[in-house]
Chains A and B, each alone.
Chain A
Amino acid sequence: MLVMIELELRRVRHDRTEIYTRAVQPILWIVVYGTIMSSIKAIPTNGIPYIDYITPGVLVQSTTMISIFYGLIMVWERESGILKKLYVTPTSRYATIIGRCMASGVRALFQVFIVVPVALLIGVRFILNPLYFILALLVILFASGGFAAISIIAATFMKTRERFMGIGQAIIMPLFFASNALYPVTMMPPIIRYFAAYNPMSYEVDAVRGLMISGDLTNLLLDIVGIAIFDLILFAIASANVRKIIE
């Protein structure tokens, strides 16, 4: 499993373009959308400045974006012979899949180190507790791993890159808007609120917001359990599906 993470880090070392280009969108969300919306003060945020409120949400959205498109690599590796060859190594096929999910999580973490400094520059106040920060990184790592599993599952059904790009957008936008990333769940119409209660992104955002901005950790345990369940289920499905990718 660790090998897959090492592979990912080595790739990032040789080509950092994706990290930079994918950072543009979250920066725009915070700098442009956040600044404008915070002057309206229409959204109840429990006394937290609006930019500070959405920073964790945008951060989570951008890390999820990386994970959701991770399946593209799988589509590419199937087109090439890499998956076949990996399949013929003695390594457990499940370890390979879970390793790849976590590798995607690691890749996603690079977003944090770009978005957080930008947020700091425009005056977002983070909680300066290294322990909290590390815990937030872990939450993002594991949640991203779960989203990467969704992506890998989608990759087993989508045989071409073009189709996969479409499905990626179709997964990520509903997750983002039906979560507490940009506004509290209580503001939503009941149906969407119901969906948000099962949206793993909500749990992730809540945990990261608590750890980085608000310091409100009342739901932290629930959030972590939620993400753990999400990971377990998706890792199981992705591993079970692995045969299908090859054949």
Chain B
Amino acid sequence: MVSAVEIKGLTKVYEDKTRALDGVDLSVETGKIFALLGPNGAGKTTLMRILTTQIKPTAGTAYVYGFDVVRNSAQVRESVGYVPQEMSVWTDITGFENLLIYAKLYDIPSPERSTIMRNALEDMGLTEFKDNLVKTYSGGMVRRLEIACALLIRPKILFLDEPTIGLDPSARKIVWERLTQFRREYGATVFFNTHYMDEADLYSDEIGIINKGKIVKSGSPDALKHSLGGEVIIFTLAGNATYKGIRDEIGKLAFVSDVLINDQELRVIVENAETALPEVMVVLRRGDVSVEKISLNKPNLDDVFLMYAGSKLDLDHGIREIRQVRSMIKRG
């Protein structure tokens, strides 16, 4: 079976010499929900724009359902639905009219048009608001309308760039309920970019972690978590001293599979936390490190990310920016 997305050695260098993608290899199976997880500037959007034929790669190849995104771009465009990160509907007309314009742009023959549009509105739970101006929609409704527009052609694959950015938790939940329902009904592939760890964890079948233009790790959420081994001991350290030496010392212990330090947090990944804890404490005492708090956890995606991307996701900054852009656009 042909995979939904097949990427080999994909590289994109922008005119100003920014290396946005640096040899990406990736394969996404048909019918899966795939999450591309990474911090801002990791290359997520660039990758998606290449896959949706908006920009050309500098080197490497990318296929969407067997079609080359450069040579067969017309065929690719016929089989993909795409929702950009920014707001992509006209706010000065109604939701229904937005769908109508897109339906006509996609050349959907008029006998089928009204049924398809009705279904899209229903699928996204917008039927009762269809005749309101988009200006009056909430952020979540705008997102669902954008997705409805992308669903008009029953795409084989749906590309979503940060689908729930800037939405409140309940709106995010509704968007995802609708998306998973759509996937169940039509068996389409969903490829989304996100920097919400929990979103990737909850809704995706497969995650690719991208950092600095490279896919550093991919696999199902569970496999990724298991790849870290058993348990995580998190020490909250006191004071502002640096603990460089400590990190190496703990790393030397036989049962420790990894040690990560981030701000005042020391994360030690071990097979069995209960037996490991006393020994780690001995090392910490010897190094004169005072600990404020200790907690034991199963590894979550934060740990996975920290381990493979080497840094925590910087969330707040990006979200605030996007929120501003979206509200600015809404004001017109």
User: Which B residues from 93 to 147 make CB contacts under 8 A with A?
Assistant: 93-94, 97, 101-102, 104-107, 133, 146
Q: Which of the 9-residue segments B33-41, B47-55, B278-286 touches chain A?
A: B47-55
Binary interface encoding of chain B residues 237-262 relative to chain A, with 1 for a CB under 8 A from any of its CBs, else 0:
00000000000000000000000000
Q: Can you name the residue of chain B whose Cβ is closest to the Cβ of A79? A: B329
Q: Which of the 9-residue segments A20-28, A86-94, A129-137 touches chain B?
A: A86-94
C-alpha gap A81/B90 in the complex (Å)? 10
- Knowing A80-B87, A80-B329, A82-B90, the reply to whether A6 touches B104 (Cβ < 8 A) is yes
- Knowing A90-B107, A246-B54, the reply to whether A81 touches B78 (Cβ < 8 A) is no
List, in ascending order, chain B residues with CB within 8 A of A122's CB. none
A15 beta carbon closer than 8 Å to chain B: yes
C-alpha gap A79/B88 in the complex (Å)? 10
C-alpha gap A81/B101 in the complex (Å)? 16
C-alpha gap A79/B149 in the complex (Å)? 19
Q: Can you name the residue of chain A whose Cβ is closest to the Cβ of B104? A: A3
C-alpha gap A3/B104 in the complex (Å)? 7
- Interface contact A81-B74, CB-CB below 8 Å: no
List, in ascending order, chain B residues with CB within 8 A of A90's CB. 74, 77-78, 106-107
Count the A residues whose beta carbon is within 8 Å of the partner chain — how many? 22
Nearest CB of B to A92, in Å: 9
C-alpha gap A89/B79 in the complex (Å)? 9
User: Which A residues from 3 to 60 make CB contacts under 8 A with B?
Assistant: 3, 6-7, 10-11, 14-15
Nearest CB of A to B45, in Å: 10
Contact of A91 among B49, B83, B94, B105 (CB under 8 A): B105
Binary interface encoding of chain B residues 20-64 relative to chain A, with 1 for a CB under 8 A from any of its CBs, else 0:
000000000000000000000000000001001111000000000
- Interface contact B88-A89, CB-CB below 8 Å: no
Binary interface encoding of chain A residues 106-118 relative to chain B, with 1 for a CB under 8 A from any of its CBs, else 0:
0000000000000
Binary interface encoding of chain A residues 142-155 relative to chain B, with 1 for a CB under 8 A from any of its CBs, else 0:
00000000000000
C-alpha gap A58/B92 in the complex (Å)? 29
Contact of B92 among A14, A86, A88 (CB under 8 A): A14
Contact of A88 among B54, B89, B90, B325 (CB under 8 A): B54
User: Which A residues from 210 to 231 make CB contacts under 8 A with B?
Assistant: none
- Interface contact B77-A85, CB-CB below 8 Å: no
- Which of under 10, 10 to 19, 20 to 34, or 35 or more describes the interface residues of B? 35 or more
Contact of A7 among B55, B80, B90 (CB under 8 A): B90
B230 beta carbon closer than 8 Å to chain A: no
- Interface contact B105-A84, CB-CB below 8 Å: no
Interface core residue of A7, A90, A91 (most chain B CB under 10 Å): A90
B86 beta carbon closer than 8 Å to chain A: yes
- Knowing A11-B93, A88-B52, the reply to whether A80 touches B88 (Cβ < 8 A) is yes
Q: Can you name the residue of chain A whose Cβ is closest to the Cβ of B330? A: A80
B264 beta carbon closer than 8 Å to chain A: no
Chain A interface main SS type: helix
Nearest CB of B to A132, in Å: 34
- Interface contact B92-A84, CB-CB below 8 Å: no
User: Which A residues from 65 to 115 make CB contacts under 8 A with B?
Assistant: 76, 79-82, 84-91
Nearest CB of A to B105, in Å: 5
Q: Can you name the residue of chain A whose Cβ is closest to the Cβ of B102? A: A89
Nearest CB of B to A157, in Å: 15
A162 beta carbon closer than 8 Å to chain B: no
C-alpha gap A15/B90 in the complex (Å)? 13
List, in ascending order, chain A residues with CB within 8 A of B146's CB. 85
**Extra inter-chain contacts (15) besides given A10-B93, A14-B133, A88-B53, CB under 8 Å:** A10-B97, A10-B101, A14-B92, A14-B93, A79-B328, A81-B83, A81-B86, A85-B82, A88-B77, A88-B80, A90-B78, A91-B105, A91-B107, A246-B55, A247-B54
16 contacts between A and B (CB under 8 A): A6-B104, A7-B90, A7-B93, A10-B97, A11-B93, A76-B329, A76-B332, A79-B325, A80-B88, A81-B83, A81-B84, A81-B88, A82-B90, A84-B49, A84-B86, A88-B82
A-contacting residues of B (Cβ < 8 Å)?
49, 52-55, 74, 77-78, 80, 82-90, 92-94, 97, 101-102, 104-107, 133, 146, 149-150, 325, 328-329, 332
